[in-house]
Amino acid sequence: MSTTEPATSGGAAPDTDTPNYLSHKQILVVLGGLMAGMFLAALDQSIVGTALPQIVSEFNSLDKLSWVVTAYLLTSTASTPLWGKISDLYGRRPLFIAAIVTFLAGSVLSALAQNIEMLIGFRAVQGLGAGGLMSLAFATIGDVIPPRERGKYMGYFGAVFGLSSVAGPLLGGLLTDGPGWRWIFWINLPIGLVALAVVAAVLKLPHVRRSHKIDYLGAAVITGAVTTLLLAISWSGPGNGWDDRTTIALLAAAVVLAVGFVFVELKVAEPIIPMDLFKGRIFSGYAGYAFLLGFAMFGALIFLPLYLQAVKDMSPTRSGLALLPMIVGIFSASIPSGQLMSRTGRYKVYPVISAVLVGGAMVLLSTLSMTTPYWHLATYMFVMGTGLGLSMQITVTAAQNSVPRQHMGSATSTMTFFRSMGGAIGTAVYGAVLTSRLKEHLTEIVPHATQSMVDGLAKAANSVEALHALKPPMKGWALQGLVQAMDDVFLVSVPFLAIAFVIAVITPEQRLAGRSDGAKPDESVESSAAAALH
């Protein structure tokens, strides 16, 4: 179902699979609204990272650091398919406005949080809105821009991500060092109100109304599956043990609910994730690739600021500036690759190179020590950023190009869902690895005669300030254990990126459709999900 088609007269049913692409000037107007909303979500992802060490220090809860991010990713992940499906039925604009309002409500509540548990809960509300901002923006792009031309317009979105990625860490550091970390949430209000005004004013797309039925059961089941899995990975497993009854029960429940979700989606009239999408090798391949890349990406984004502030003794502001090489890498790779994709209509090589670069960067990051020169770290971050920039938007375009237009919203939100799901699971896994490996490394580092100090040092690692307040040699032991635990975290992602590389190599390529290609995807290179659906 397309939101860009005018209603037909005479009672004739509109052809929901015929594209009605906008002109260049019309596209630029629509992009203004989309970029305003995307800037809000993108800024929040980068601005929180540099403040996290200070937040967990204030609440003395390093062991819950990953949950501040995981709660956000959990709700944004679980809600993403629902945002896409409802927008297919009701139109993109009202859902985009609802997503902004929900995001702003979560921001206000997060700024008022009085403890780590409240902050985690309110971040979940914020994530609920963020789940709609990204997926609806990319779905709207699929409505109004031919696949062949999307690459050059992705440069605009690259600029949004680049600006937010540069401004986010710096602004987050300045606010944390200045008025306090709560202002990283208050700052969303003026930005969000501007985004709301712009979207309401310019994002006016004709919409074809049709009969509809929302798959609330499917949404509830997939939310339950994601929640139980993350609780097992980040709470029960590390705390109670992986053979504990609670952990096993949560993992079993996650599997049962995931299988149940598939059965629900096969039966309902309007599934939030149409299972037929996965009959296409291109869509299913890049959905798996997005999951694995999301798994790897969020680990680095969360733990690098912690390394810079705890080990390198940087302020939040300096640590934000220190992340610039990664941002430069993303920015310098995303725009040229998008332009080349539009020029040639081909894209397969970029995800392949991306997996190699991100995997190599993770191996390099696993060698970090207390004495690693910053220019080494900057080089590693640039390599990682370049890898991420080569695939972040290209895989979405490739997946959109492989499905019928009536599934554009569902397909786009499903891709976002898999990437967010990878990030949520990755963050939970990384948090569990850091917590467990920290204590093991401290046991190896601390002299046998003072082993009774291990628990105290592990507890001190909950706070950057507490770490820095330790006296020698205890401070050196604690920091050394933290660095070695972080090295393990980065290594965990390498096998997953190896799998991503294989998926990128074996996933077929389909030439990107242009304006003259109509609604039917080109099948001269490889068949697609569109063919599988008929």
Q: Supply the pLDDT for residue 515.
A: 55
Position 466 in a domain: yes
Does 58 share its domain with 129?
Answer: yes
Position 300 in a domain: yes
Q: What is the mean pLDDT of residues 383-398?
A: 83
Q: What is the mean pLDDT of residues 287-297?
A: 87
Query: What are the tokens at 300?
Result: 């680095």
Query: What are the tokens at 208?
Result: 């074809």
In the chain, the percentage of residues whose pLDDT exceeds 70 is: 83
Rounded Cα–Cα distance for residues 347 and 514 (Å):
14
Q: Supply the pLDDT for residue 435.
A: 81
Q: What is the pLDDT of residues 437-489, one digit of tens each?
A: 888 888 888 887 677 777 777 777 766 777 888 888 888 888 898 899 999 99
Q: What is the mean pLDDT of residues 56-84?
A: 75
More confident residue, 405 or 51: 51
- Tell me the pTM: 0.73
- Residue 169: asked if its preceding bond is cis (omega within 30°), the reply is no
Least confident interval from 104-108, 161-165, 369-373, 416-420: 161-165
Q: Is the pLDDT of residue 125 over 80?
A: yes
**C-alpha closest to that of 181 among 303, 54, 62:** 54
Does 60 share its domain with 122?
Answer: yes
- 351 pLDDT tier (thresholds 50, 70, 90): very high
Say how many domains are in the chain: 2
3-state secondary structure of 225: helix
Does 113 share its domain with 46?
Answer: yes
The answer to whether 333 and 389 are in contact (CB under 8 A) is yes
Q: Supply the pLDDT for residue 13.
A: 40
Top-ranked range on mean pLDDT: pick from 20-34, 390-404, 498-512: 498-512
Q: Supply the pLDDT for residue 1.
A: 36
Query: What are the tokens at 411?
Result: 């397909």
Q: What angle do CA 199, 200, 204 make, to 5 degrees?
A: 85
Position 527 in a domain: no
Q: Supply the pLDDT for residue 38.
A: 77
CA distances from 202 to 21, 29, 32, 310, 483 (A): 17, 6, 7, 45, 48
Query: What are the tokens at 433?
Result: 């690895």
The answer to whether 56 and 123 are in contact (CB under 8 A) is no
Does 224 share its domain with 295?
Answer: no
More confident residue, 20 or 293: 293
Q: Supply the pLDDT for residue 249.
A: 93
Position 161 in a domain: yes
Does 79 share its domain with 158?
Answer: yes
Q: Supply the pLDDT for residue 522.
A: 38
Does 222 share its domain with 197?
Answer: no
For residue 488, what is the domain's CATH number? Answer: 1.20.1250.20
Q: Supply the pLDDT for residue 297.
A: 77
How many helices (H) and strands (E) in the chain?
A: 22, 0
CA distances from 145 to 134, 449, 512, 520 (A): 17, 68, 12, 15
Q: Supply the pLDDT for residue 513.
A: 63
Q: Is the pLDDT of residue 208 over 70?
A: no
Does 355 share its domain with 395?
Answer: yes
**What is the full DSSP assignment across 87-149?**
HHHH-HHHHHHHHHHHHHHHHHHHHT--SHHHHHHHHHHHHHHHHHHHHHHHHHHHHHS-HHH
Q: Is the pLDDT of residue 77 over 50?
A: yes
Q: Supply the pLDDT for residue 15.
A: 42
Q: Supply the pLDDT for residue 449.
A: 67
Q: What is the pLDDT of residues 221-255, one digit of tens each?
A: 888 888 888 788 777 777 777 788 898 999 999 99
**What is the full DSSP assignment across 251-293?**
HHHHHHHHHHHHHHHHHSSS-SS-GGGGGSHHHHHHHHHHHHH
- 24 pLDDT tier (thresholds 50, 70, 90): low
Does 121 share its domain with 223?
Answer: no
3-state secondary structure of 391: coil
Domain boundary among 254, 269, 284: 269
Q: Is the pLDDT of residue 134 over 70?
A: yes
- 362 pLDDT tier (thresholds 50, 70, 90): very high
**C-alpha closest to that of 50 among 281, 239, 320, 258:** 320
The answer to whether 368 and 307 are in contact (CB under 8 A) is yes
Q: What is the pLDDT of residues 486-532, one digit of tens each?
A: 999 999 889 999 999 999 999 988 877 655 554 444 333 333 333 33
CA distances from 292 to 33, 158, 198, 205, 231 (A): 30, 21, 34, 34, 20
In the chain, the percentage of residues whose pLDDT exceeds 90 is: 17
Q: What are phi and psi of 4, to 5 degrees?
A: -105, 5
- 127 pLDDT tier (thresholds 50, 70, 90): confident
By CB neighbour count within 10 A (0-12 exposed, 13-18 middle, 19+ buried), where does 15 fall?
Answer: middle
Does 369 share its domain with 237?
Answer: no
Domain boundary among 269, 284, 309: 269
Rounded Cα–Cα distance for residues 169 and 181 (Å):
12
For the chain, the straight-line distance linking the first and the last C-alpha, in angstroms and rounded, comes to 16
Q: Supply the pLDDT for residue 17.
A: 47
The answer to whether 330 and 482 are in contact (CB under 8 A) is no
The answer to whether 261 and 283 are in contact (CB under 8 A) is no
More confident residue, 41 or 14: 41
Does 235 share its domain with 291?
Answer: no
Does 342 share its domain with 404?
Answer: yes
Position 530 in a domain: no
Position 65 in a domain: yes
Please give the mean pLDDT across all residues of the chain.
78
Total length of the chain: 534
Give the domain range for residue 239: 215-269
Q: What is the pLDDT of residues 143-188, one digit of tens each?
A: 777 766 766 666 566 667 656 766 777 788 888 888 888 998 998 8
Q: What is the mean pLDDT of residues 260-281?
A: 84
Q: Supply the pLDDT for residue 365.
A: 94
Q: Supply the pLDDT for residue 232.
A: 84
Least confident interval from 227-231, 353-357, 364-368: 227-231
Does 308 share its domain with 345?
Answer: yes
Angle of the 474-492 helix axis to the 349-365 helix axis, nearest 10: 160
Query: What are the tokens at 122?
Result: 């309110």
Position 277 in a domain: yes
Angle of the 24-59 helix axis to the 65-90 helix axis, nearest 10: 150
Q: What is the mean pLDDT of residues 357-383?
A: 94
Domain boundary among 242, 269, 296: 269
More confident residue, 149 or 137: 137
Position 518 in a domain: no
